[in-house]
A and B are shown apart, each in its own frame.
Chain A
């Protein structure tokens, strides 16, 4: 085959190749891609009974039972950037014959309260424990405040002095985190 025909053949072939392309697509849609995982994570749990309301060292009554835990996950950058809503579920079962006030205080690194949840608990009995469910839905400004937190303080407050408490206060809780990434 002579040279002109050879060149013509490849020119046509390359032209055909160049006609191939992408149609009916819009790669700008990549900007609209949003991962929106919803994560369920256990939160805090405890069981308080009679022994917890007395100081084992002094024998004195403790009208405020308190404990603190670090909770640094809220302070992680990906949580601060991408968490849109958080829903806390607190399930409290009280079989003690007195009422309580439970407080969940979220503190920042300077121990300042940035978010707080308070749940009153009615008195119950061993035969008929009282179940209290509280859902705390946090979004918008609340999320901005919550994600400043790095600690959680839990206070269980007994409104008045008592002689004897039978039964227990039991807490189970979880958080549903709604992300948009």
Chain B
């Protein structure tokens, strides 16, 4: 039972550098869901149908700079010292990420002209926050040891969204070398919140000649929190009402958006193929149930100045304390805004180049399925690039891989991914076919599997499909 819990839970607790990088799934033509990372991925089968709710289950949890072991590892060093070391070891570009996808529906077919159409519905949760280093230090240590230090509001940068995606796409071999793919998407937002691009600082300073010992300053603050779909859920009351409302939003009842995925596969030589894709070029338009909060301004606080007025009998004392609160609210009012806003989805870019070698896999008499497109090399090696736009700066990951077919039964892909935080991420993907039945699983950071607590990059994707060929 313990191992079972570990197997299920630890990938969830583990740490993932790039929540949406699916380097194992990318260009893995044996798996229909690879169309979601490149709509131009060449499909071998004539039809596919995903097992509803099980065709893609995907979890990514983690952070860029800290593992569970860094905090909870058995050690003679006090845990509070370790947490302090972690806080100081991370920087403001380190981040924590949660990404989960559940495919509800998936299908595809190839028509007589060789165009492969595919579509489906999936649900996605994406939470991303940079490490708010200044505020973590303030919470952990206070300001006593940091007199004069700027605590930047810019360190607070967080986005969270839950949405469903309806999509339909197609790919077509344009000529001998080029295959193009595109996918249209309708986003239905269930809930969204973000606080990014904040400005200003808080600081405590000693100023010679000032009225009191310190001045606590908030300078040029401009902090915004945008939310959509949350207020009505909190007003909905009972759990059942909330569930009903969320379910209606899954099926296009939420704030809607539009997007496209684009992809291309180009056969440079018989055994040399380049691919690229742009995923989620689009936006969600939050017009319903949008509520934003904005705080702007400057404020100085230097304590309570007593004036010692001579009071007559019955006259009440001056309300210094409320004055401080009122002055703060006047200087930095929190405005609630009910205007709509547009949220661009995080754009993902993938690119790869691969080289096929070894025997050709397809030794059947009929070559009508693979059509000698290079997909049928038994072995291949390749390089992949992944980038994603995040609030402060884009993030990149570089992958080298080796892929091999073992008959019709099994295809394996071994990946090695490097990024600025991890140089030891080895992943593995396996796709198996038994009659019409296809099962695939992809895991990251398998070198850390003996002790996942030490991993900073762990992800898990798996799914079940039916793949049907007319000729079988």
Which 6 A-B pairs have CB atoms at the shortest separation, nearest pair first? A42-B303, A37-B142, A70-B321, A20-B449, A1-B409, A38-B144
A interface residue count range (under 10 / 10 to 19 / 20 to 34 / 35 or more): 35 or more
Instruction: Name B6's contact: one of A21, A36, A173 (CB within 8 Å).
Output: A21
Given contacts A43-B304, A177-B142, 13 further A-B contacts (CB under 8 A): A19-B3, A21-B3, A24-B451, A29-B79, A33-B79, A39-B143, A42-B301, A46-B306, A48-B308, A57-B310, A67-B309, A68-B317, A176-B144
Chain A residues lying within 8 Å of B304, measured Cβ to Cβ, are 43-45, 69, 71
A34 interfacial by beta-carbon distance below 8 Å: yes
Q: A6-B434, A25-B72, A42-B212 are in contact. Are A65 and B453 (CB under 8 A)?
A: no
B68 interfacial by beta-carbon distance below 8 Å: yes
Chain A residues lying within 8 Å of B308, measured Cβ to Cβ, are 46, 48, 52, 65-67, 156
Q: Do the beta carbons of B214 and A22 come within 8 Å of each other?
A: no
Q: Smallest CB–CB gap between B333 and chain A, Å?
A: 21
Chain B residues lying within 8 Å of A25, measured Cβ to Cβ, are 68-69, 72-74, 453
Could you tell me the distance between the alpha carbons of A20 and B301 in the complex, rounded to whole angstroms?
54
Could you tell me the distance between the alpha carbons of A36 and B455 in the complex, rounded to whole angstroms?
29
Q: Smallest CB–CB gap between B360 and chain A, Å?
A: 20
Q: Smallest CB–CB gap between B141 and chain A, Å?
A: 6
Q: Do the beta carbons of B142 and A174 come within 8 Å of each other?
A: no
Q: Do the beta carbons of A22 and B302 come within 8 Å of each other?
A: no
B88 interfacial by beta-carbon distance below 8 Å: no
Which of A21, A37, A38, A70 gathers most chain B CB within 10 Å?
A21
Q: Do the beta carbons of B212 and A172 come within 8 Å of each other?
A: yes
Question: For residues 144 through 197 of chain B, which have their beta carbon under 8 Å from a beta carbon of chain A?
Answer: 144-145, 147
Number of B residues contacting the other chain (C-beta, 8 Å)?
A: 63
Q: Do the beta carbons of B142 and A42 come within 8 Å of each other?
A: no
B7 interfacial by beta-carbon distance below 8 Å: yes
Q: Do the beta carbons of B141 and A38 come within 8 Å of each other?
A: yes
Q: A1-B407, A35-B140, A38-B144 are in contact. Are A44 and B306 (CB under 8 A)?
A: yes
Question: For residues 50 through 70 of chain B, which have their beta carbon under 8 Å from a beta carbon of chain A?
Answer: 68-69
Q: Do the beta carbons of B3 and A40 come within 8 Å of each other?
A: no
Bitwise interface map of B from 73 to 116 toward A, beta carbon under 8 Å scored 1, else 0: 11000111001000000000000000000000000000000000
- Interface residues of chain B, those whose CB is within 8 Å of chain A, are 2-4, 6-7, 10, 68-69, 72-74, 78-80, 83, 138-145, 147, 204, 211-216, 301-310, 312, 317-322, 407-410, 430, 432, 434, 439, 441, 443, 449-453
Stretch of A9-17, A121-129, A158-166 at the chain-chain interface: A9-17
Could you tell me the distance between the alpha carbons of A41 and B144 in the complex, rounded to whole angstroms?
9
Could you tell me the distance between the alpha carbons of A29 and B441 in the complex, rounded to whole angstroms?
34
Q: Smallest CB–CB gap between B143 and chain A, Å?
A: 6
Chain B residues lying within 8 Å of A18, measured Cβ to Cβ, are 3-4, 7
Interface of B is mostly: mixed
Q: Do the beta carbons of B79 and A67 come within 8 Å of each other?
A: no
Could you tell me the distance between the alpha carbons of A85 and B257 in the complex, rounded to whole angstroms?
54
Could you tell me the distance between the alpha carbons of A1 and B406 in the complex, rounded to whole angstroms?
10
In the complex formed, the residue of B with least CB distance to A57 is B310
14 contacts between A and B (CB under 8 A): A3-B434, A9-B432, A13-B430, A13-B441, A19-B450, A22-B452, A23-B451, A24-B69, A33-B80, A38-B141, A45-B302, A46-B308, A52-B308, A173-B303
Q: Do the beta carbons of B451 and A21 come within 8 Å of each other?
A: yes
Chain B residues lying within 8 Å of A22, measured Cβ to Cβ, are 6, 10, 68, 451-453
In the complex formed, the residue of A with least CB distance to B78 is A32
Chain A residues lying within 8 Å of B215, measured Cβ to Cβ, are 42
Could you tell me the distance between the alpha carbons of A38 and B143 in the complex, rounded to whole angstroms?
7
Q: Smallest CB–CB gap between B65 and chain A, Å?
A: 18
In the complex formed, the residue of B with least CB distance to A60 is B310
In the complex formed, the residue of B with least CB distance to A71 is B321
Q: Do the beta carbons of B453 and A23 come within 8 Å of each other?
A: yes
Instruction: Name A33's contact: one of B3, B83, B141 (CB within 8 Å).
Output: B83
Instruction: Name A56's contact: one of B69, B74, B214, B310 (CB within 8 Å).
Output: B310
Q: Smallest CB–CB gap between B380 and chain A, Å?
A: 21
A134 interfacial by beta-carbon distance below 8 Å: no
Could you tell me the distance between the alpha carbons of A52 and B321 in the complex, rounded to whole angstroms?
21
Q: Do the beta carbons of A17 and B79 come within 8 Å of each other?
A: no
Could you tell me the distance between the alpha carbons of A48 and B305 in the complex, rounded to whole angstroms?
11
Chain B residues lying within 8 Å of A55, measured Cβ to Cβ, are 310
Chain B residues lying within 8 Å of A65, measured Cβ to Cβ, are 308
In the complex formed, the residue of A with least CB distance to B68 is A25
Which of A35, A48, A91 gathers most chain B CB within 10 Å?
A35
A154 interfacial by beta-carbon distance below 8 Å: yes
